[in-house]
Amino acid sequence: MDVPLEARLTAGMAVFNAGHYHAAHDAWEPPYREATGERRDFLQGLIQYAAAVHHVETDNREGAQGLAESALAYLDDVDPRGLALEPVRAWLRACRGEYDTVAGEQPPPLVRDGTQPALATLEYPAAAVAAPLVADATGHDAELLATAAEYALADLAAAEVGSPFVTLVLDFLAGEHRAIILERLAQHVQRRQAREADVEGLFD
């Protein structure tokens, strides 16, 4: 899925803020693998912050403290790209030195340009990144959501009015009636795939 860095940052922050700490890093890893220099350090620090929070959540003190130490080094003197880093650094320092003060507590949310990204308010293309990650984190069909999200992006690029993929992926992220939404998405995906199969090879 070819999505700009800014959208991936927002998607990962919304996933993190929803409490899916382990899933959040999957939004940031693709741009991290391609990044260099300060941008790579920033993304590495963000990924390690999410991992440290995950380890606190699973009560892995040693893992959390090691990641906190490393994340602090990566996030030192980097361009925050609008992200409020001081609450993150403060949590990492506490995790490193006073683990018991962060254990069992919610980590500070990720806030960017004064706004706290949330799943229910995501727009495309960030929504397309977040949807399969949330599906996987909540025990739903991540592959179905990934396919639906790709169709949503394609329909938006084609200016297709009334795309059910665009609407239903956003509805899934909003968090209500997900089982019903998944049934509808599965039906629409099957129809789209059948339609594509019908024209495949016609001009070979």
Q: In order of start, what are the domains of the chain with their CATH numbers? A: 5-117 (1.10.3450.10), 120-199 (no CATH)
pLDDT of residue 197: 81
pLDDT of residue 161 exceeding 90? no
Model confidence band, residue 198 (pLDDT cutoffs 50, 70, 90):
confident
Please provide the average confidence, as pLDDT, over all residues in the chain: 94
pTM, two decimal places: 0.93
How far apart CA 61 and CA 52 sit, in angstroms, is 9
Average pLDDT over residues 116-133: 97
**Can you tell me the mean pLDDT for 155-180?**
94
Indicate whether 130 pLDDT > 90: yes
pLDDT at 146: 97
* pLDDT over 70, % of the chain: 97
What pLDDT, on the 0 to 100 scale, is given for residue 203? 54
pLDDT at position 59 over 80: yes
pLDDT at 136 > cutoff 70 = yes
Q: Give residue 2's pLDDT.
A: 82
